[in-house]
Amino acid sequence: MYPSRFKYESPKTIEEAVKLLDAGKGESKVLAGGQSLIPMLKLRFAFPDELIDINNIPGLDKITFDADGTCHIGALVRHEHLVDSAEIAKLQPTIAAAAPLVADPVIRTRGTFVGSVCHADPQGDWAATMIALHGSIVAQGPKGKRTIAMKDFVQGPYANALNYNEIAIEAVIPAPKGKRVGGYLKLERRVGDFATASVAVALDMDGDRVIGAGIALAGVGGKTIDANDAAESLIGQTLNATSIAKCAELVAAKAEPRSDHRGSAEYKRHLVATFVTRILTAHSAQKAA
Ligand SMILES: Cc1cc2nc3c(=O)[nH]c(=O)nc-3n(C[C@H](O)[C@H](O)[C@H](O)COP(=O)(O)OP(=O)(O)OC[C@H]3O[C@@H](n4cnc5c(N)ncnc54)[C@H](O)[C@@H]3O)c2cc1C
């Protein structure tokens, strides 16, 4: 199907883009990688009056780290950039583990990390990693910038906390408190598919003791599931059979899976517990420096 008719704008600055969005009064949409928006237009699930293409705004395609390790991912950082980044591989293991599992290589070269978080698909991979990492989104609107904690950003399936006249300009991941370890496991029916169930785990370690923990789930609820309170059971603990089993049980209880063509609810809940156990067990043998 063809999309319904829309105007197209390609601003060169964030301020110009915000002005256009503001003038659109909620009938305009930001176009980033287009890997979710264009299919939505073609299926006529979305029919905005205007697309505001942010791809020609310079400076949004960078991954940067502050001196303390805080990580900034600009609004035009593509999935593939995260697959290829040596700094991400070294400093953000949860992101590094998820990146090659997002969609397929064609989509990864165009789709963006921030666009994916904004799209808020309950099966999307990046919102789960951001919640586990206690990240936030910086939004810019007519009144300037504001920071929205990731736990408040995803408001429901395909719904985020941005106002109609705001652009998400970057994702921010806080500096590690100790040595950051973590992982991401996902079951997909075939390569490139969305998650049947996936688990993002991010831990900060002081020696063999957990001093920071986050866990989030995709594919097992009406929105990305924040299991950070369950992850807190690990704080102050070493990763051993008892602490891991308790955490896996608490996280599995947070899942809200529904039986569908991807599997039964029981199966998906079992997957969640298994993935949590696998990721934590992998780090139980790994001594933090
Ligand atoms: C076949 C297929 C398989 C896929 N598989 C997966 C998968 O396995 N895992 C996964 O996580 N995703 C998957 N995706 C989605 C893909 O990762 C998209 O790239 C991503 O969801 C959206 O990013 P985008 O940059 O393409 O955003 P767009 O399509 O450009 O935009 C998506 C939405 O977010 C809004 N938006 C985008 N950027 C901003 C911004 N900076 N500020 C405000 N609003 C913004 C847009 O207005 C739109 O509403 C798949 C897509 C397809 C087509």
Asked if pLDDT for residue 174 goes beyond 60, the answer is yes
Q: Atom 15, ligand 1: which residue's CA is nearest?
A: 36
Q: Domains in the chain, please, with CATH?
A: 7-53 (3.30.43.10), 63-173 (3.30.465.10), 179-284 (3.30.390.50)
Q: Please report, rounded to a whole number, the percentage of residues in the chain having pLDDT higher than 70.
A: 98
Rounded Cα gap, residues 173 and 201, in angstroms = 14
Q: What is the pLDDT of residues 1-11, one digit of tens each?
A: 788 899 999 99
- Residue 134 predicted with pLDDT over 50: yes
By percentage, how much of the chain surpasses pLDDT 90?
Answer: 92
Average pLDDT over residues 193-201: 93
Q: How far is the CA of 119 from the centre of ligand 1 (A)?
A: 6
For the segment 262-276, the average pLDDT, to the nearest whole number, is: 96
Protein residue with its CA nearest to atom 33 in ligand 1 = 119
Q: Quote the pLDDT of residue 190.
A: 85
Query: Distance, CA 154 to ligand 1 centroid (Å)?
Result: 14
Which residues have C-beta atoms less than 6 Å from ligand 1?
29-37, 39, 75, 102-103, 107, 111-112, 114-116, 118-119, 121, 124-126, 162, 167-168, 192, 194
Q: What is the pTM of this model?
A: 0.96
Distances (CA, A) of 268 to 99, 117, 209, 241: 22, 23, 30, 22
Instruction: Measure 30 CA to ligand 1 centroid, in angstroms.
Output: 11
pLDDT at position 285 is: 66
Shortest-distance atom of ligand 1 to CA 78: 25
Q: Mean pLDDT for the chain?
A: 95
Q: How does DSSP classify residue 100?
A: G
For ligand 1, mutation pick of 6, 36, 162 (most atoms within 8 Å of CB): 36
- The angle at the Cα of 44, spanning 42 to 45, to the nearest 5 degrees, equals 115
- For the stretch 198-251, pLDDT in tens is 999 999 999 999 999 999 999 999 999 999 999 999 999 999 999 999 999 999
Question: For residue range 40-99, what is the model confidence (pLDDT) as tens digits?
Answer: 999 998 889 999 999 999 999 999 999 999 999 999 999 999 999 999 999 999 999 999
Ligand 1 atom 4, closest CA: 103
In 3D space, the residue among 114, 107, 277, 288 whose CA is nearest the CA of residue 206 turns out to be 288
User: What's the mean pLDDT in 150-165?
Assistant: 94
CA 36 to ligand 1 center in whole angstroms = 4
